[in-house]
């Protein structure tokens, strides 16, 4: 028995499919710099400054930084709207910018993130993934 196919309209699904494509994954580029190492109760933590650049033909409601270091780090805290977590030498920071969508071409200063680590912390690499592409 033939059943007419249904078209699934689901904005979340569309975003997910879009974000999984190579184009969407590369529409953000970012940098992370170690800005300062203030003292906190005798154990140093490092302050990172994250900035991203969005370039695409669409708007964005969110992005994720994946930052790798030369040693293990522990997420401490951060300023602004976002969540962070650490796993070994990898720090992951998610920003939800749905309150003010990032434009197709826009530089974004995401702000400060603090981690604890041993001496001589260095950033090895920064990867950015879009988590909320949409078209207007």
Give the binding site for Zn ion (CB under 5 A).
27, 56, 60, 130, 133
Residue nearest to Zn ion (CB): 27
3-state DSSP assignment of residue 102: strand
Backbone phi, then psi, for 7, in 5-degree steps?
Answer: -90, 120
Q: Please, are residues 11 and 134 in contact by the beta-carbon 8 Å criterion?
A: yes
Closer residue to Zn ion (CB): 56 or 82: 56
Closer residue to Zn ion (CB): 15 or 130: 130
CB of 27 to Zn ion, least distance (A): 3
Closer residue to Zn ion (CB): 76 or 134: 134
Closer residue to Zn ion (CB): 27 or 48: 27
Sequence-ordered list of residues with C-beta below 8 angstroms from that of 129, at least 6 positions apart, any chain = 19, 25, 28, 63, 64, 66
CB of 24 to Zn ion, least distance (A): 6
Which candidate, 13, 22, 56, 50, places its Cα nearest to that of 129?
Answer: 22
Q: Please, are residues 59 and 135 in contact by the beta-carbon 8 Å criterion?
A: yes
Closer residue to Zn ion (CB): 57 or 79: 57
What is the rounded CA–CA span in Å between residue 21 and residue 127?
A: 15
């Amino acid at each position: 028995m033939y059943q007419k196919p249904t078209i699934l309209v689901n904005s979340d699904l569309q975003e997910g499919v879009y974000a999984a494509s190579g184009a969407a994954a590369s529409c953000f580029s970012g940098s992370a710099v170690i800005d300062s190492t203030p003292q906190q109760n005798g154990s140093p933590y490092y302050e990172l400054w994250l900035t991203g650049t969005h370039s695409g033909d669409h708007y964005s409601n969110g992005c994720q930084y994946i930052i790798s270091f030369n040693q293990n780090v522990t997420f401490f805290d951060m300023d602004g709207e976002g969540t962070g977590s650490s796993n070994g030498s990898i720090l992951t920071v998610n920003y939800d910018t749905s309150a003010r969508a990032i434009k197709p071409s826009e530089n974004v200063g995401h702000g400060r993130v603090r981690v604890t680590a041993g001496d001589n912390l260095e950033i090895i690499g920064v990867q950015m993934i879009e988590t909320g592409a949409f078209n207007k």
